[in-house]
Structure 1
Amino acid sequence: MTKPMTAYKVLTGEQMAALEHDGSFAGAPVDLQDGYIHMSTAAQLTETVDKHFAGQDDLHVAAVDLEAVGDKIRWEESRGGQLFPHLYGTLTLDSVVAYSPLERLDDGTVRLPVTG
């Protein structure tokens, strides 16, 4: 499997504001508990939002350049045997290539932030 060069982190409005203000994000409570920042590929993102953020408002999606975070990313087996990108370290704003409020397309999938 060719690994994608971009992964996605779902953030609350408060977490996104902190990332913008501080330039870094140490993780949500579940990230801090598990010892890494949970992220998803584009193909995994909608299921992640549906499973872990159902019913929540004011969510944002940050696109993270995996090359920029380098060896801090580990691909580890999780839900259904899929490999998920896990960031062992702090998420820095300079590794985020795009972000936007979470929106869904007509088919219900999460719209990815526009990069470039």
Structure 2
Amino acid sequence: MDIIYCLVPKSYWETWSGKETYLPRDYEQEGFIHATKGEELLRKVADRVYSDFADELYVLVIEEQKIVSPVKYEQAKDGLLYPHIYGPLNKDAILEIREMKRTNGHWSVAEAVR
């Protein structure tokens, strides 16, 4: 099973409650959903993108094969390949939702909330 991760602020995720799909706030600008593969890279991305974020942060744990929209691995500015989801994320591909916790300025994956 191939797992990918998608970070989302808790307050924004809650606005998608009851819907069958999910789109991030920046989807219209970016044209895809940012995701990562591997927990180590997930932590690095969380530290970089959410370095000044003070609210609660979730990570969606997604089974890549269940995603209905196209997934393309593309090289980012850091030279690494990241999975990009080109369309809405169907929620039945989400295996679980976990909290992210910040300790000493670094994010890590915490307990499951679903």
C-alpha distance 39-62 of structure 1, shift in aligned 2 (>3 A)? same
Q: Which residue is equivalent to 2:32?
A: 36
Percent identity reads 18
Q: Which amino acid aligns with 1:37?
A: I
Gaps in structure 1 of 5+ consecutive residues: none
Distance in structure 1 (CA, Å) of the matches to 2:110 and 2:28: 25
**What TM-score, normalized to structure 2?**
0.81
Distance in structure 2 (CA, Å) of the matches to 1:62 and 1:113: 12
C-alpha distance 111-22 of structure 1, shift in aligned 2 (>3 A)? same
Report if the CA contact (8 A) 1:72-1:87 is conserved: yes
1:90 aligns with 2:88: yes
Q: Which residue is equivalent to 2:56?
A: 58
Select the residue among 68, 72, 75 that pairs with 1:74: 72
Distance in structure 2 (CA, Å) of the matches to 1:19 and 1:65: 19
Distance in structure 2 (CA, Å) of the matches to 1:89 and 1:26: 8
- Count of residues paired in the alignment: 109
Report if the CA contact (8 A) 1:76-1:84 is conserved: yes
Moved >2 Å (runs of 4+): 18-21, 103-106
Secondary structure, counterpart of 1:40 in structure 2: coil
1:37-63 Cα offsets, whole Å, 9 max, x none, are 001112311111111111212110101
Distance in structure 1 (CA, Å) of the matches to 2:74 and 2:111: 24
**TM-aligned CA deviation for residue 23 of structure 1:** 2.6
1:12-36 Cα offsets, whole Å, 9 max, x none, are 112221333223212222x321100
1:10 aligns with 2:7: yes
Secondary structure, counterpart of 1:80 in structure 2: coil
Q: What RMSD over aligned residues (CA atoms) do the two structures have, in Å?
A: 2.3
Q: Which amino acid aligns with 1:49?
A: A
Q: Which residue is equivalent to 1:20?
A: 17
